[in-house]
Amino acid sequence: MEKKRSGTGPKRVASKVDVEPLVLKPKKVGRALGGIASAKKMTPAQRTARAKKAGLARWGLKATHKGSFMEAFGIDVECYVLNDADKTAVISQRGMGAALALGEGGRALPRFAEGKKVADALGAEIIEKLSNPLIFKGDIPGVKAPPVGDVYGYDVTLLIDICKALVMASARGDLLRSQANIVAQANVVLAASAKAGIQGLVYALAGYDRTKEEVIEAYKMYVREEAREYEREFSPELYEHWYRLYGLTQPERGRPWEFRYLTIDHIYKPLANSHGKVFDLAKSTKQASGESGNKIHQFLSEVGVKALRTQVGKIIGIASVSDSRAEYERYISEKVYGQRSFQFK
């Protein structure tokens, strides 16, 4: 039988741990104290920047300014400035595709990047960025406009990276012939951006503050210059297809007289679905100028540069998938003239 402990036995002395157990401070308290101490060492500007960063983490990215390329350039490209520390300039995902002449649908750019040759040309880093668009609130406080909610977009510098990658891949011969018009567009974007950028840098360093109108007009001028450079002669690929499809022999100098009619009927008349109006306008402008020796498409810089580029690319695409003249002309009737019959003169 177990003996009971008597009250006269040695008395156990309580340790400090037993009486005053060690209480660890919650980590958040430690962080808070550390944050307070850190804030005391900051300048007012640093504290403001830190508060903005915390606000972004809590409330997310928002657009502070919004614009569009539509009025100045005629293409539906929405652009924004975000409320992050870098004031990131952003183009919407749909707008990025339109800027590259891929079409204006929201999925145009991702679909384009999914192609094996294009994906290889862009590389893992660009593909990763395309897979993770910036998501931000597109509604501008105080501006009366239909609500847009969340917007998917990309830092505008990604457009430059994509253009560089496409141009380099084209130079290596890694892209399809049918993508030549997209490469030409990439060249235009690169060259115009570089010229406008270096001009803007000089103005900033010299202390000249340009107006918004001056900035837009300068970029438009550079786009027009670069577009004319790449459209001075139509892509040799188009002529190669016409030689093949129409069984024409390539002359030692110049081009066959038949190409004149093909160019008018397949490029100028259906240009921008205008039923010949753009062609007539360009022709009248040419006649009014008195410079009869110049080519008609050189007068399109103001009335249809983008339309001309798109139309040439469209015809190259149709020609590249056609195995015969009959098939090519059937596609022209269906895709270009909307079922209207077409016959080569």
* 3-state SS, residue 43: coil
Which token pair is 107? 């999925």
DSSP label at 302? T
C-alpha distances (whole Å) from 301 to each of 126, 222, 305 are 32, 11, 5
Note the pLDDT of residue 29: 47
Note the pLDDT of residue 50: 57
* Residues in a beta bridge with 62: 137
Angle 35-41-46 (CA atoms, 0-180°, nearest 5)?
85
Domain ranges of the chain: 63-231, 236-336
Q: Give the global pTM.
A: 0.55
Note the pLDDT of residue 291: 54
Q: Which residue reads 């016409």 in tokens? A: 242
Mean pLDDT by 10 residues, the chain (345 residues): 49 43 45 50 62 52 88 84 91 91 82 92 94 89 71 94 93 85 87 91 90 88 73 74 90 79 81 58 59 48 61 87 92 75 44
Note the pLDDT of residue 270: 76
Note the pLDDT of residue 242: 92
Q: How is the beta sheet containing 150-155 ordered, strand by strand?
A: 63-68, 78-82, 89-92, 150-155, 134-137
| Helix residue spans in 247-304 (DSSP H) | 258-263, 277-289
Note the pLDDT of residue 14: 44
Which token pair is 55? 């606000």
Burial class (CB in 10 A: 0-12, 13-18, 19+), 104: middle
C-alpha distances (whole Å) from 198 to each of 146, 165, 204, 208 are 37, 21, 10, 14
What are the residues whose beta carbons fall under 8 Å from the beta carbon of 232, sequence distance 6 or more?
298
Note the pLDDT of residue 311: 80
* 3-state SS, residue 57: helix
